[in-house]
Amino acid sequence: MAGARLSLSDLSVHLSDGDRRFVLETGVLEIAAGEPVGLSGGSGTGKTLLLEVLGLLRQPDPGGRFTLHAQGREVDLRAEAGQAARLRGRYFGFVPQAGGLLPFLTVAENIALSQKITDTADAAWIGELIARLGLAGLERLTPSALSIGQRQRVSIARALAHRPLFVIADEPTAALDPEAAETAMGLLIEAAEQGGAAVIVSSHDLGLLDRVARRRVHLSLAPAAPGTVRSVLAARTEAAA
């Protein structure tokens, strides 16, 4: 959708469990619908945490700016935190690491689920996703009859079925072999672009991220007070790894 975007400025998330403190700082980040963005960072730098904030699954600390521009309207996500569940269902799709499919539903039913929940039935778009993601012929099977790669492609179709503006994918190819990972990641980006959605995708495979996403942002640890781990988001630099 033209002009739709998610804008963050100086958000932070503080976690603490007594002895340990962790702080995530976003700086400025803008994600426009239709744009693929890769997210990298070492283990424990807060990739999942950041994706939870971006997907409106977790409230950042007070302060900073966090806005969603959609359908010609700007929503201040700080001021309208109570709207998060509704906005999430309508504008966001999620591809979890292990697929997250419902085992008692068929492939077709799993894919149609997000349309059903958001009351946006569109059989033609589901048909197109099934064809694009190479799932034709598998529609009536349940997830247990599929390979892990096939399940992940169903999960991608399900995340896109209700035509979200933003697709959040947390290491969606971690369980796949390198060839299947390359295929699934390419299909995720391609199908999302076709549907006009932004994809924010994390992975430890930097080569793969850079092959599929035009832009990569990176979380890296920064100096902090003793006892605190501080992770800061920045545009990718050559030294990032």
Ligand X SMILES: Nc1ncnc2c1ncn2[C@@H]1O[C@H](COP(=O)(O)OP(=O)(O)OP(=O)(O)O)[C@@H](O)[C@H]1O
Nearer of residues 117 and 222 to ligand X, judged by Cβ: 222
CB 189 within 8 A of CB 200: no
Q: Say which residues have a Cβ less than 8 Å from residue 172's Cβ, sequence separation at least 6.
A: 95, 96, 97, 152, 155, 156, 184, 185, 188, 201, 203
Least distance in angstroms from the C-beta of 50 to ligand X: 7
Nearer of residues 26 and 45 to ligand X, judged by Cβ: 45
Least distance in angstroms from the C-beta of 87 to ligand X: 22
Of 12, 47, 26, 28, residue with least CA distance to 206: 47
Nearer of residues 20 and 116 to ligand X, judged by Cβ: 20
Least distance in angstroms from the C-beta of 110 to ligand X: 25
Least distance in angstroms from the C-beta of 194 to ligand X: 28
Binding site for ligand X (CB under 6 A): 15-17, 20-22, 41, 43-49, 229
Nearer of residues 47 and 132 to ligand X, judged by Cβ: 47
Least distance in angstroms from the C-beta of 42 to ligand X: 7
Q: Cα(39)–Cα(204) distance, rounded to whole angstroms? A: 9
Nearer of residues 22 and 66 to ligand X, judged by Cβ: 22
SS3 of residue 239 by DSSP: coil
CB 221 within 8 A of CB 25: no
Cβ-count burial of 83 within 10 angstroms (0-12 exposed, 13-18 middle, 19+ buried)?
middle
Q: Cα(181)–Cα(222) distance, rounded to whole angstroms? A: 31
